[in-house]
Structure 1
Amino acid sequence: MPAALDDPFYYLHNFHTLLDWISERYHDLLDGDEQAFIEDFRALPRASQALLVRMVMRKGTLFRASKLNYPEIGDTRDAAVPLLALGWVDAAAELDLAQLFGLLTLGEVDACFGKAPGRKAERLENLLAEYDGRRTFADWFPASSDCVYALGLMDICDRLRLMFFGNLYQDWSEFVLADLGIYQYEKVEIDTSARGFRERADLDYYLRLHRWRERFEAGEALEQLLPELPVEPHANPWLDARRRKLLFQVGQHCERCELLEAALGLYGLCGYPGARVRRIRVLERLDAHDDAFDLAQLANAAPESEEEQQHLIRILPRLRRKLGLPKEPPAGRASVQRIDLVLPQPPEPLSVEHAVLQHFHEDDAPVHYVENTLLNSLFGLLCWDAIFAALPGAFFHPFHNGPADLLSPDFHARRTELFDACLAQLDSADYLTSIRRTFAAKQGLLSPFVYWGNLDEALLDRALACLPATQLKACFQRILADIKSNRSGLPDLIQFWPAERRYRLIEVKGPGDRLQDNQLRWLEFCAQHDIPVEVCYVQWADT
């Protein structure tokens, strides 16, 4: 066991680490309640601190005292006394029937409400009509010596967690997983001024977006939600990116619900990648073909991405036809070689990709199932220092698996010189040494590009021997041009001929399967850059 976990109070030390980090970096953002909590918490006896942290790190906010048993804490009833005095824990909170059932065993339900067939959920549904209102655990179970602790600090603890991580999807388990070595992070020098939130209003705005999304995902009516949707741009770039993404997703929902005018407005406001094409499609559905064509023409003059250009190639001829305009000659497309195979259907769970792999694999021409992992990994290894550069706003806590601005439009621009230096190594043999050195030095560290589980030394050696540097450079530049879209869609298989220092990529399609848009874009790119690629269509032999 790692030394950090030898101490039974490891979780308490982790919580103190979080509080110290926040006190050092976010002291000016803390409100009075948060400052008071940190000061009062540090003044508590260790057992009380530990009990509180145990509850904070567990699921929910209601805990039966009899179930809080931790050897390192000792008597948890005694440890709870200071928490009760501070009002952080309430032992007399009223519970409704649903909350009570969540704390009881089926036997206790039978003892309290009479034995009846069915699961707890069924019993609860049957009893709701008979028992209503809220009452304390002691009122429900007057003869019991047990009690229920209601934790009233989760809003404060969630805000502190948000300040530390910059999000609410990471939680306390990050510390333990890192201590156990399950997750290993690159050590980036994080300046004390580095933080995700610049001012208190940023924190409040994040929570506003988060709560709006929670209500939306819970199914609250759109007529109640839409007037509260933040539509004005925010000065903090990464918070504004969250806002724009939310508007785009709500626009998609409105489009699916046939609320086309609302969808059109949201797409127009959000400025999110893909929103312009969605506006064109909605205008089509509204029979506003002239407006749709004008917007499509504008987009075609300066496409925001290859993905948008791909959509426009399909949309513009359709709009021309609807408007009675003359056809334009179709754009030429590079041809990709096709393979047609008829194979015996493999037993489950062998996939069609692995069936093709076995068909083509030879000792002197090995085939690997790599999909998106190989080229991304090679890119990540070569450009490791640029990706993990400690730029302002990129890293603000120790548990980043990549920079916070990875998918921001200016990610590459902010690091142009760094990436140029990395890619310049491909103009000589330096890249071979650099990739191998990073592969050895950074083994197992989390990266948004490197797939350690799919990249062993044998595959790395074959790839570096057979993939020309010029083709690697072209692929890496394409990944950098649109990280979100171009990290995926790569062919499934790669076959090497090490003795001849050559290779081919193979995209596999099973019966009834078709090429996806991102795959088509990669195939087109490969054909344009003389990267050997083939599409293998498989049919199963009749048995």
Structure 2
Amino acid sequence: MPAALEDPFYYLQNFHTLLDWISERYSDLLVAEERAFIDDFRALPRASQALLVRMVMRKGALFRASKLNYAEIGDTRQAAAPLVELGWVNAHPLLDLSQLFGLITLGEVDACFGKASGRKAERLEALLADHPEPRTFADWYPASVDCVYALGLMDICDRLRLMFFGNLYQDWSEFVLADLGIYQYEKVEIDASARGFRERTDLDYYLRLHHWRERFDAGEPLDELLPALPLEPHPNPWLDARRRKLLFQVGQHCERGALLEAALGLYGLCEYPGARVRRIRVLERLGAYADAFGLAQQACAAPESEEEDQHLVRILPRLRRKLGLPKAPPVESAPVRRIDLVLPQPPEPLSVEHAVLLHFHEEGAPVHYVENTLLNSLFGLLCWDAIFAALPGAFFHPFHNGPADLLSPDFHARRAPLFDACMAQLDNGEYQASISRTYAAKQGLLSPFVYWGNLDGELLEQALACLPAAQLKACFQRILADIKANRAGLPDLIQFWPEERRYRLIEVKGPGDRLQDNQLRWLEFCARHDIPVEVCYVQWADS
């Protein structure tokens, strides 16, 4: 067991680490309630601190005392007493019938309400009408010597967790998973001033977006939600990116629900990747063909991405027809070699990709299933130092698997000299040794690009021997140009001829399958850069 977990109070130490980190970096952002909590928590007996942290780290806010048995804490009620005195825990909360049923067993339902047939959910449904008023646990279940605690601190603890992580999807388990070595993070020198939130209003704004999204996901009516949707840009670029993404997703929801005018307005406000082409499509659905064509022409003159350009190639001919305009010259695409195979139906669970792998694999020409993993991994290994550079706002706690601004528009620009130095190694021949060193030194550390489980030493050796530096550089530059879009869509298989120092990429399509848009873009890119790539279409012999 790791030394950090040998201490039975390891989770409490982790909580103190979080509080110390926040006190050091966010003291000016804390409100009086949060400062008081930190001070009062530190003054508690250790057993009371530990019990509170155990409750905070569990799901829900209601706990039976009998279920809070921890050897290192000892007597649960004694440890809970200071928490009750501070008002952080309620020892006599009112419970409605549904909450009660969430805490007791079916046998205890019989003890409270008399024996009856039926499952627990059926018993609850049958009893709801006769028991509308909430009661304490003792009133519901007088025969029990147990009690129920209600934790009333989750809002504060969630805000502290948000300050530390900069998000609400990471939680306390990160500490334990890191201590166990399940997750291993690159150690980045984090300045004492590094933090995700600059001002208290930033934190409040994040929570505002989060709560709006919770209400949206819960299915609240849009006419009640839309007036509270934050439409104005936020000065914090990171938070404004979250706002723009939310507006785009709500616009998609409106578009799917045929609320086209609302969708059009939201797409026009959010300036999110893909929003402009969605506006064009909505204008087309509204019959505003001239407006749609004008916006499409504007986009065509300066497309925001290859993906947008790809959509415009399909949209513009359709709009030209609807407006009675002459056809534009067809866009020529680079040819990609096609392979047609008829193979025996493989036994489950062998996939079509692995069936093709076995078909082409030879002793002197091995085939590997790599999909998006190989080229991304090679890029991540070559550019490791640039990706994990300790720039302001990139890292602000120890549990980042990559920089916080990875998908920001200025990610590359902020690190341009660092990436230039990495790419230069592809010109001077140093890249092979550099990638191999990083592969050995950083083995197992989390990265947004490196897939350790798919990259063994043999595959790495063959890739470095067979993939030309110029083609690697072209692929790496494409990934860097649009990380979100271009990390995916790469061909499924790679075959090497090590003695000849050559290779080919193979995209596999089973019966009825078709090429996705991001795959088409990668195939077009490969063809333009003389990267050997083929598309293999498979039919089963017994079909």
TM-score (norm 1): 1.00
Encode CA deviations 1:87-140: one digit per residue, 9 max, x unaligned.
000011100011111101111112212223332222212211221111110110
Do residues 170 (structure 1) and 170 (structure 2) align? yes
* 1:56 and 2:56 aligned: yes
* 2:450 matched residue in structure 1: 450
1:393 alignment counterpart: 393
Distance in 1 between residues matched to 2:408 and 2:115, nearest whole Å: 59
User: Aligned partners of 2:80 and 2:453: how far apart in 1?
Assistant: 45
Partner Cα separation in structure 2 for residue 122 and residue 521 of structure 1: 54
CA distance in 2 between partners of 1:462 and 1:126 (Å):
67
1:63-142 alignment runs, 5 A limit = 63-142=63-142
Following superposition of structure 1 onto structure 2, how do residues 26-425 of structure 1 map, counting pairs within 5 Å?
26-425=26-425
Amino acid at match of 2:265: G
Q: Counterpart of 1:215 in 2: which secondary structure?
A: helix
1:465 aligned to 2:460?
A: no
SS of corresponding position for 1:500: coil
Alpha-carbon distance between aligned partners in 1 of 2:370 and 2:118, rounded to the nearest angstrom: 49
**Is 1:490 the counterpart of 2:490 in the alignment?**
yes
In structure 2, distance between residues paired with 1:193 and 1:332: 53
CA distance in 1, matches of 2:178, 2:364: 41
Looking at structure 2, the residues matched to 196 and 246 of structure 1 have their Cα atoms a distance apart, in angstroms, of: 19
Cα offset, 1:364, TM superposition: 0.5
- The secondary structure found in structure 1 opposite 2:17 is helix
Q: Any gaps of 5 or more consecutive residues in structure 2?
A: none
Matched residue count: 543
Q: Secondary structure at the match of 2:499?
A: helix
**Equivalent residue for 1:514?**
514
**Superposed, which structure 2 residues align to 1:13-24 within 5 Å?**
13-24=13-24
Which residue identity does 2:149 align to in structure 1? Y
- The C-alpha deviation readout for 1:224-270, integer Å capped at 9, x for no partner, is 00000001000000000000000000000000111000000000000
> Deviation of residue 143 (structure 1)?
2.6
Distance 2:425 2:314 in 1: 39
The separation in 1 between residues aligned to 2:114 and 2:541, in whole angstroms, is 62
For residue 127 of structure 1, what is the amino acid of its counterpart?
Answer: L
More deviation, 421-430/34-43: 421-430
Instruction: Give the partner amino acid of 1:444.
Output: G
Superposed displacement of residue 542, structure 1: 1.6
Bigger drift between 238-247 and 143-152 goes to 143-152
SS in 2 for 1:537: strand
Task: State the one-letter code of the partner of 1:314.
Answer: R
- Paired amino acid for 2:417: E
Secondary structure of 2:411's aligned partner: coil
Over 4 Å off, 4+ runs: none
How far off is 1:370 after superposition? Answer: 0.1
Distance 1:278 1:177 in 2: 41
- SS state at 2:401 partner: coil
CA distance in 2, matches of 1:377, 1:301: 34
1:266-309: per-residue Cα shift (whole Å, max 9, x none)? 00000000000000000000000000000000000000000000
Q: Deviations over 1:178-209 (max 9, x none)?
A: 00000000000000111000000000000000
Q: Which residue of 1 aligns with 2:505?
A: 505
1:349 positional shift? 0.8
Give secondary structure in 1 for the equivalent of 2:410. Answer: coil
Q: Secondary structure at the match of 2:446?
A: coil
The amino acid of 1:104's aligned partner reads I
Q: TM-score, normalised by structure 2?
A: 1.00
Identity %: 85
Q: Quote the Cα distance in structure 2 between the aligned partners of 1:19 and 1:540.
A: 60
SS in 2 for 1:341: strand
SS of residue paired to 2:507: strand
Instruction: Select between 157-166 and 129-138 the one with higher mean Cα deviation.
Output: 129-138
Once residues 170 and 81 of structure 2 are traced to their aligned partners in structure 1, the CA distance between those partners, rounded to angstroms, is 30
Q: Deviations over 1:500-537 (max 9, x none)?
A: 00000000000000000000000000000000000000
CA–CA distance in structure 2, aligned partners of residues 117 and 519 of structure 1: 57
> C-alpha distance in 2, partners of 1:116/1:215?
38
Distance 1:476 1:23 in 2: 41
Deviation at 1:458, TM superposition (A): 0.2
Measure the CA separation in 2 of the matches of 1:135 and 1:321: 69
> Secondary structure of 2:39's partner?
helix
For structure 1, the 5+ residue unaligned runs are: none
RMSD: 0.6
**Aligned-partner Cα distance in 1 for 2:118–2:311:** 54
Looking at structure 1, the residues matched to 199 and 251 of structure 2 have their Cα atoms a distance apart, in angstroms, of 29
Letter in 2 for 1:2: P
